[in-house]
Structure formats: C-alpha cells, structure tokens
Amino acid sequence: MPSYVVRFTLLLAALIVLGGSALVGLAVAERYYVRQTNIQSDATLRLAASGLSGALQKFESVPKLLADHPSVRSLLDGSATASDLDALNEKLKSVASEVGASDIYVLNATGLAIAASNFDKETTFIGNYYTFRPYYSDAMQGNQGRYYALGTSSQKRGFYFSEPVMLDGSPIGVLAVKFTVDELELKWNGFNHDLIVTDPDGIIFMSSRSDWLFSAINPLSHETLSRLRDSKRYPVDQLTSLGATYTEGTNEARLTFSQDLGGAEYLVRSQFMPEANWTLHILTDRSLVFRQSVQATLIAGLIVLLITILTIALLAWRSRQAQHIREQEEAKLLLEERVAERTSDLQREIGERIQAERDLRKAQNELVQAGKLAALGQMSAALSHELNQPLSAVKSYADNAGAFLDRNRPDDAKANLSHISALTDRMAQISNSLRNFARKPREQIGLVSLAAVLKDVEQIMVGRLTETKATLRVSPVVSDLTVIGGHVRLQQVLVNLVNNALDAMEGQPDPTVEITVIDTAEQVDIRVKDHGRGIDDDIFEQIFDPFFTTKGVNQGLGLGLSISFNILRDFGGNLSATNNPEGGAVFIATLVKPIMDQEAAE
C-alpha cells in the first residue's frame, strides 16, 4: 500500500477519534467548570450574606436603646414641652448620622409620627400615619418589629427595626429605625456575579442589576398582589414578572428566563437568611461556563491533534529510514562488485587523503599558536596601559613614605605603606579583570557605593593631577547612592576616562576635568567632561575599538576606552561619548540602579 494512502487513513482515523473525544471532553469539562463555578459562587455568597447579616445586627440594638430614653417616654406620655420636642428631633438626627441610619422616628399609640430625625426635610415622616406597617403593630403588641419595604415618603428601599416604648408595662408608642440598602448593593459591584435578594413571594428586593428590582421570579397571584397593596410594601403597579423557570439537578441549579428577556440561563446558588426572612441568590451566566468548557476542549483537542500529527510524522520518518536502509544495502552490493576494480585507485586516494590531513593539522597548529601569541601581546599591552597609573601612585607613596621617615613621622609613613598595599591589591585585581576584554569575567557583580568609588579615583589621580597642574572637580554624591557593578573595575573605568581627559587638554593652561553624577529613577549617568578640542565626527564610531588611538607614538595603545566599554557592558550599563557645545568632549558612563527585588537578591 502506498505511503500516502497509509498517512491519509491514519489522519482520517485520528480525526474521527478526535471528534468523539471532543464530545466526551466537552461534557467532562462542562461538569468540571460548573463545579468550580459553584465553589466560587458559594464563597461569594457567604461573603455577601455575612455583609447583610452584619448590617442587620448593627442596627438591631439601636431602637431598644432609644426606646428607653427618658425624652422619648416623656414625649409619648404628654409631659414634654415644645423645646423638649426640638431637642429630641435634634438628638434623633445626631444618632442617625452617627450610626449611619437613614431615619429614626417616634410613633404614638395611634401610629402618628410625632418626632423624626428628618424633621427638617420636605419628606419628613412627622404628621404621617404608619398603622399599615407591620413593624408598628408588632411593636404595639410588645414585640420587636422587623420589616422591609419601599418607603412611602422617601421612595427608598429600607429595612425597619421597631421597639415598643413601655410605660407601666404597657406600650404607649413605637420607636422605629430605618436603614437603606443602596450602600449594601454598591459593595456587590466588585463581584463577578449577579446577586439578588428575594422575599418569600419571590420578589426581588435587592439586586446588583437595577433592571431586576421589584420583579417577581414567577407570576404573582391576585391574593399576593392584594396583600402587598394593603401593606404598601412595594409599588404594586410597578411589579413585573421575569417569567423564569427554576430547575434543580444533581450537580447544579438553573434559572432560565423567558424568551422575552433573551432566554438567558443562569447557574444559581442560594442561601436563606432567617433573620430577615430573605433568600440571597448568586447567578452566573451559564454561557460563560460553556465558553470556558469549549476553550478547554479546543485546547485539549489541539494537543491531541498535535500528538497525532507528530505520531504520523514519526511513522513516515521511520518508513523513509527503512527505504533508505534498503537503498544502502543495494548500493553496498553494487560496491562489492566493483571493489576489485578500484582497489588500487582507493589506495592512492587514501594516501593522498592522509597527507592532506597531516598538512591540515600542521596549519591548524600554526594558527592556534599565532592566536595565542596575539592574545598574549594584547594582554601584555593592556597590562602595561592599565597598571601605569597605579605604579605611578605607588612610587609617589613610596617616595613620600621615605620623606616621612626622614622627618620622624612614622604614622604618616605607615599610612602611605597602607596605600601602597591597597594599590598592589588593586593592580592584582586589575590584571584579573583585564580578561573582560576577551570574555565575560567570573568576578561577582553586586552593589557598589558610587561615593566610595569616586573618592578612590580622586586619591589615585592625585599624582597625575599634580604633575599636569590640573584640577579635578567632582560633584557631591549622597553616601547611600549605589549602582550595580564591581568596585575595582568601575574605579578602573573612571581612571581611564580622567586620564584621557587630561591627555586631551595637554598643553592648555589650567586644565580642568569635571565629573558630574546625574541620578534618575532607573539609572545613574557619570559624565566626565574635559575642555579639549573634542572628538572629530569621522572617528566617533571607532573610538571604542581595540588599538584605535589618536595619540602620538608611545602615548597610548588605544585599549583604555575599549576595556572600559566592555566593563560597563558587563555591569548592564553603557559607555557613550559626545561633544560639549561649549568645547571639549563628554564621556557618559551609564550604570543601572538596583531595585528592591535586586537588593533582596543580592
């Protein structure tokens, strides 16, 4: 059977298996995401229910405390004066503001509001009768009242707590506290689900979606509407029905809306709140779960398809390998038939090849030796260039130490000997760090104090500055400013730049080198400025190349800038150059500042 027929058959079988697996995988993925959605919904549901319960508990004790207040009792028993009434209104207003209640008001035995925290508003409760509210009748029977409804005066949804005001064991009035639920709904905006609160009649009293308020999940009967109209709990003429169908299965509960409302289907998790006689529901659009399931199935299908394609490709490769082996065997048989004829030719060719290999090895060895000599010459030149300044400083310190000993100043001489020891250590580190020119060093890079480095540079350059009668101006640097790099190698870079600046101003009166530090949010720029003739435009691209120099014979090898450039690249920084509009050249050493995570890592 031809190989392309085999591959096509395998591919067709794979597609059939993939299609069946996709259907099974979709069902499995859907059950998984439904379960995960229910777990997340339950957590959100508990959080929202806790918030509602906390709000109810917060206001539950307020009416009981105020009902026992003497000013409330004196108002209801008729002993209060007009000034007492004004003081009570102000007190109720103050308490309502402190506890966050919407309204606090006092009803007499006939249900008439005679004092209220909103006494100074157009929508004040004073002068209105509230005998139709169950919280009034419950309190007049000596019980605490609880009720929720749309306010007839304020037109705001609220929850009411009431407490009887007792005199000689009998209720003489009612103290009621109302808090609105609008602020509680605002907290639901951060949830990725729709939340609703329904009463025993299935009417939505609170909702994260304003278009569902005062809607019934199922159609309401005439008896229910009549009862709601009598209690004035809701605006009956505004009540609508969502026409939803509630179904409960083994793993999920669903709420399906009518086609008039788009036919949306939601996963539902519910929790009953006995303290308010509410049921809190959290709704998740089932289409989201379906999309997640489809995406997971597609990803799994693509993985299976990829594995199938790789398997087919492997089988095809093995087939080609087998065919290649057969061709090799045929060629081997043909070769054996002709081996006798070509024996002498092969021996001659073998001899020529052996000689060619010997010549190649000899040439390779010569190239390797030449490369070693070139590298050795480059390192020697670099060492000579980089150690020149420290050696000059060592000689200066040694001469000064001798002079101090002649003057019987052993402490100063000992200090100079310490400087000489430090400089010898530095020269050893410089010789090791010069390997950066050819490859990345093994020296660990960490946090370096820039102020300490600049101080060392000033100390090292004292001899050269005195010799050239030059001035080095360094801008002040805060002591805690750190950069990423190595202390000795960064010091080596700055010494090179200062030396180059002094060379550029050779022969000038009062030569001055300026070092300016610019601290930005993410990096630090160290600008080394001279007052020489500047850099010619035609050599800008060459100044960082090894052995390129504009100095005369025996005045430089052209390695300093190249080595400095590579050192800063190791630090993650950069070295650049420009001309100063006022004259002279400016070399900019850019270093990276550590961030908090890098400091912790170091």
Q: What is the pLDDT of residue 339?
A: 75
- How large is the average pLDDT for residues 522-550? 83
Q: What is the pLDDT of residue 372?
A: 39
- How large is the average pLDDT for residues 437-465? 76
- How large is the average pLDDT for residues 192-203? 81
Give 61-183's CATH code, choosing from 1.20.120.350, 3.40.50.880, 3.30.450.20, 1.10.3720.10. Answer: 3.30.450.20
Give per-residue pLDDT as tens, 267-315.
888 888 887 788 888 888 777 776 767 777 778 777 877 887 888 788 8
Q: Is 240 exposed, middle or buried (0-12, 13-18, 19+ CB in 10 A)?
A: middle
Q: What is the pLDDT of residue 20?
A: 65
Q: Please determine, for residue 5, whether its predicted confidence score (pLDDT) is greater than 70.
A: no
Q: Please determine, for residue 434, whether its predicted confidence score (pLDDT) is greater than 60.
A: no
Higher per-residue confidence, 108 vs 228:
108
Can you list the alpha helix ranges (DSSP code H) found in 238-342?
286-338
Share of the chain above pLDDT 70, in %: 83
Q: What is the pLDDT of residue 379?
A: 43
Q: Taking the domain 441-601, which CATH number applies?
A: 3.30.565.10
Confidence of residue 483 (pLDDT cuts 50, 70, 90): very high
Q: What is the pLDDT of residue 285?
A: 76
Give per-residue pLDDT as tens, 375-401.
345 445 545 655 777 788 888 888 888
Q: Please determine, for residue 494, whether its predicted confidence score (pLDDT) is greater than 60.
A: yes
Q: What is the pLDDT of residue 526?
A: 94
Q: Please determine, for residue 516, whether its predicted confidence score (pLDDT) is greater than 90.
A: yes
Which is it for the CA torsion 438, 443, 448, 451, positive or negative?
A: negative
Beta strands in 47-154 (DSSP E): 103-108, 113-116, 145-150
- How large is the average pLDDT for residues 325-344? 84
Confidence of residue 441 (pLDDT cuts 50, 70, 90): very low
C-alpha dist (Å) from residue 69 to 66, 106, 146, 165, 585: 5, 12, 21, 9, 87
Q: Which residues of 452-471 are buried (b: 16+ CB within 10 A; e: fewer)?
A: ebbebbeebbebbbeebebe
pTM of the shown model: 0.43
Q: What is the pLDDT of residue 373?
A: 46
In the numeric block, the tokens 């602020």 are attached to: 183
Sequence ranges of the domains in the chain: 61-183, 441-601
Same fold, 61-183 and 441-601: no
Phi-psi region of 260 (alpha: psi -120 to 50; beta: other; left: phi over 0): alpha
Give per-residue pLDDT as tens, 120-144.
998 899 999 998 888 899 999 999 8
Q: What is the pLDDT of residue 517?
A: 93
Confidence of residue 552 (pLDDT cuts 50, 70, 90): low
- Other beta carbons less than 10 A from residue 175's beta carbon: 27
Q: What is the pLDDT of residue 369?
A: 43
Cα–Cα distance, 528 to 270 (Å, whole number): 72
Question: Helix, strand or coil for residue 164?
Answer: strand
Number of helices (H), then strands (E), in the chain: 15, 20
- How large is the average pLDDT for residues 340-366? 76
Cα–Cα distance, 31 to 324 (Å, whole number): 50
Q: Please determine, for residue 87, whether its predicted confidence score (pLDDT) is greater than 90.
A: yes
Q: Please determine, for residue 364, whether its predicted confidence score (pLDDT) is greater than 90.
A: no
Q: What is the pLDDT of residue 472?
A: 92
Which residues face 161 on adjacent strands?
A: 146, 177
Higher per-residue confidence, 23 vs 65:
65
CA angle 133, 138, 139 (to 5 degrees): 100
Cα–Cα distance, 43 to 89 (Å, whole number): 43
Q: What is the pLDDT of residue 260?
A: 53
